[in-house]
A and B are shown apart, each in its own frame.
Chain A
Amino acid sequence: MADNGIGTSKQEISTLITQSNLECKNLYDYLKTRPSNILERLYNHPAICLAVYRELPELARQYVIRILFVEQPVPQAVVASWGSQAHSREHNYVTKVLTELNVWTEGSLPGGLLGWILSHTFKRNLKIALLGGGKSWSMSSALEPDKNVRDINFLDTYSSERWECVLHYMVGSQQQEGISADAVRILLHAGLMKRDEDDGSPVITRQGFQFLLLDRHAQLSFSTLGKDYSTEGMSQGLLIFLQHLREFGLVYQRKRKAGRFYPTRLALNITNTQSKSTVLLEEDTPKGYIVVETNYRVYAYTDSNLQVALIALFTELMYRFPNLVVGVITRDSIRQALRGGITADQIIGYLKQHAHPQMLTSESKQPLPPTVVDQIKLWELERNRLVYHEGVLYSQFLSQADFNVLREYAQSNGVLIWCNKEKRTLVVNKNAHDDVRKFWKKYSKGS
């Protein structure tokens, strides 16, 4: 991740990461807003092409592969004939995605037919990533074997220590090891924490919590765990970025000037964009540790202070044993968490993600008791009794018939927010205002 050498600034990379992770703004949403020349520049790197390719919808990936080795534009009609009739809607959608991302462009064929052709840079670099050729980009080639080789276990412990340290800081649990001012700044910058208005001390924000609760998998960096990579040829900016990563335990470097680094599992996994389906096949996936019972009790088999602190964010702790804490989910504890900006879905997601394997194997196939899930959601709904919609008020209709016509129009388009028959007033969605007004003009002219 550190060494993708995009040439973009550190900020850009980090926004890319945070956006794709946190605001449910994924890589696709981010990339499609970029102008085509920037995309073209990004596609100059096999790693980026690979990453973009993996983010494409499944059907789009098949299309790209089919024309990867074709040099001329392929007639659009031919491409359309690849998908079956029943799924033409999906076909149109992926065509749009591929165009928006500048993965393919329209080209004309002799005879005036329109065809699709893959972006030259994208095609070349995807082929390089797949089949070889071109220049190496992960900086592992020039390296001699390291005298102080670090094995995967070491890296795992190292990274989890560093990482937990940061997380502890964020959760605000008592026994924190100091983390550097730089790291705090990054957290603030990324919007994961904010300065408390009263005493200026950083507190966790909603994004921060979401960040903590995300599970951290998938690979954007395309480096391999347990290998060392050279820092040679990295720009000053990247080196600083690397140090930040080191701070977070994302990479391991023996000394600041060691000249080589190992990405840790965290780094390889952090840039995942969706939390589902990320349980990896390997046996090394962390085991879940939380048992939730229908009586709202939460049993967490853990000795990690961080995990306890996390659970304490939304439960009332009752007992604490060396390897087990028992808490109970109450209305107050949940409301406390909700007030902190954490959403019910996040809490449920966290409990689900870390559910004890025993809960997963139970007959109901649901990791959490449905009653508890529903109740947490209800508690959240309780707080949201008022819903705000921006709207435009229509009033002073001359006749009930006029009112009825407009109300029916708004209703059938699903933009009606509120109406009152007696007072002949109605409120429509603000976005639909123009539309409704146009309709009204047409209608009143016609009658």
Chain B
Amino acid sequence: MNNIELPIEKDPEISSSDETSLLVIILDTNPGQKLLRDNPNAITQVVDSVVAFGNTHLMQKAQNKLAIMTCHSRTSQFIYPGSKAALDVRQIDGQYEAFTLVEKTVKQNLSSILSSEHSGVITESLLAGAIAMALCYIARIQRTKATGLKLNCRILVVTGSGDSASQYMNYMNVFFTAQKQNIVIDVCSLDQHLSLLQQGCDITNGLYLKVPQVSALLQYLLWVFLPEPPIREKLVLPPPVKVDYRAACFCHRELIDIGYVCSVCLSIFCKFSPICTTCHTVFKIPGPLAVKAKKKKMKM
């Protein structure tokens, strides 16, 4: 696509940026998140920014692809391209028709989701599930693409929720799947620090950013998340944060430093218990030696 290549000695990475790229944006619209509980109108601005960002991605190259998903209080679904036939969009102003189509489709699908769900119960956003769906979608696109075409895929999660350890297993499964499939997971947090999703970024070589001001969301998105992974090394971007790789125990879902691991099934527990709740193995009681050793070290 790029006509304007470097005139001298083409670097291989320059030509490799000439590939099609698919971006799947997962937008957390759960009204239960703190950000939206404080200010329900913030959703409009977040959606606008995300749509504009998606269109900017499409603007990069004619063959770029975009999909937008919403992760709502009870469901996760694709809002662009929706499952229904594409809308008949006419150009109404100077905006490029394809961009108008994205905007219209997203807004229509989103409003139908928002109006269909009004329960006052606060639920957690099942982001891991949404990522799993996105991975299935990407897998299909990879299967059906033309032979010989190179398609780079990435997922961007935009959320104001916290990440709860209750989805730990699903998170790990999706992260490792993404890593195996060479899919980059980027995370843009609007509100709180997300330690699990941050691990996902680290595993898949994605970027993690906690946006300081939601009002400037679009600028942050464009600066940090627009560049494709191959070109990221050429730009100065926020350095990777040191990731906190603690595990969540199976019994209380809390992040722990030191825990007990069942030798049979590798379940993690924060306290010693005589029976593994996962595989029902009966453990032998650790000898007094181990206890001693532990005490001694604790003093250090």
Binding site for B on A (CB under 8 A): 20, 26-28, 46-47, 50, 53-62, 65-66, 68-69, 81-84, 86-87, 89-90, 93, 97, 125, 128-141, 143, 218-219, 222-224, 227, 273-274, 276-281, 283, 285, 357, 360-361, 367
Whether the Cβ atoms of A133 and B95 lie closer than 8 Å is yes
Task: List 29 A-B pairs, Cβ < 8 Å.
Answer: A28-B3, A46-B95, A50-B96, A56-B2, A57-B5, A59-B234, A66-B223, A68-B222, A93-B6, A130-B59, A130-B96, A130-B99, A131-B52, A131-B99, A132-B94, A135-B93, A135-B94, A136-B92, A136-B93, A140-B90, A143-B90, A218-B62, A274-B2, A274-B3, A280-B146, A281-B20, A281-B146, A283-B146, A360-B148
CB distance from A274 to the nearest CB of B (A): 6
Whether the Cβ atoms of A281 and B61 lie closer than 8 Å is no
Q: How far is the CA of A81 from the CA of B233 in the complex (A)?
A: 13
Using a CB-CB cutoff of 8 Å, which residues 144-185 of chain B contact chain A?
144-149, 151
Q: How far is the CA of A57 from the CA of B4 in the complex (A)?
A: 6
Whether the Cβ atoms of A130 and B95 lie closer than 8 Å is yes
Residues of chain A contacted by B151 (CB below 8 angstroms): 281
Whether the Cβ atoms of B63 and A277 lie closer than 8 Å is yes
Whether the Cβ atoms of A224 and B98 lie closer than 8 Å is yes
Name the contact of A58 in the complex, choosing from B2, B145, B236 (C-beta under 8 A).
Answer: B2
Q: How far is the CA of A139 from the CA of B93 in the complex (A)?
A: 10
Whether the Cβ atoms of B3 and A27 lie closer than 8 Å is yes
Name the contact of A84 in the complex, choosing from B18, B103, B146, B236 (C-beta under 8 A).
Answer: B236
1/0 per position for B78-111, CB-CB distance to A under 8 A?
0000000000001111111111100100000000
**Given A57-B4, A93-B6, A285-B146, 19 further pairs, Cβ under 8 A:** A54-B62, A55-B4, A57-B2, A59-B235, A62-B226, A84-B235, A84-B236, A129-B94, A129-B95, A129-B99, A132-B94, A132-B100, A133-B93, A136-B91, A141-B92, A143-B90, A277-B63, A278-B1, A281-B145
Interface of B (DSSP majority class) = loop
Residues of chain A contacted by B14 (CB below 8 angstroms): 57-58, 90
Whether the Cβ atoms of A132 and B5 lie closer than 8 Å is no
Residues of chain A contacted by B103 (CB below 8 angstroms): 132
Name the contact of B56 in the complex, choosing from A47, A57, A65 (C-beta under 8 A).
Answer: A65
Whether the Cβ atoms of A130 and B55 lie closer than 8 Å is yes
Is B60 interfacial (CB-CB < 8 Å)? yes
Whether the Cβ atoms of A281 and B235 lie closer than 8 Å is no
Q: How far is the CA of A82 from the CA of B97 in the complex (A)?
A: 32
Residues of chain A contacted by B61 (CB below 8 angstroms): 54
Known: A62-B227, A65-B226, A277-B63. A137 touches B147 (CB 8 A): no
Residues of chain B contacted by A130 (CB below 8 angstroms): 52, 55-56, 59, 95-96, 99
Known: A130-B55, A138-B97. A58 touches B65 (CB 8 A): no
Whether the Cβ atoms of B4 and A134 lie closer than 8 Å is no
Whether the Cβ atoms of A46 and B231 lie closer than 8 Å is no
Q: How far is the CA of A230 from the CA of B65 in the complex (A)?
A: 28
Whether the Cβ atoms of A54 and B235 lie closer than 8 Å is no
CB distance from B109 to the nearest CB of A (A): 19
Residues of chain B contacted by A277 (CB below 8 angstroms): 1, 18-20, 63
Q: How far is the CA of A50 from the CA of B236 in the complex (A)?
A: 26
Whether the Cβ atoms of A279 and B148 lie closer than 8 Å is yes
Whether the Cβ atoms of A83 and B91 lie closer than 8 Å is no
Using a CB-CB cutoff of 8 Å, which residues 177-223 of chain B contact chain A?
218-219, 222-223
Is B17 interfacial (CB-CB < 8 Å)? yes
Is B141 interfacial (CB-CB < 8 Å)? yes
CB distance from A44 to the nearest CB of B (A): 11
CB distance from B14 to the nearest CB of A (A): 8
Of B2, B60, B144, most buried by chain A (CB within 10 Å of CB) is: B2
Residues of chain B contacted by A89 (CB below 8 angstroms): 6
Name the contact of A281 in the complex, choosing from B65, B94, B233 (C-beta under 8 A).
Answer: B65
Whether the Cβ atoms of B234 and A90 lie closer than 8 Å is yes
Known: A58-B17, A65-B226, A277-B20. A46 touches B96 (CB 8 A): yes
CB distance from A402 to the nearest CB of B (A): 33
Whether the Cβ atoms of B59 and A218 lie closer than 8 Å is no
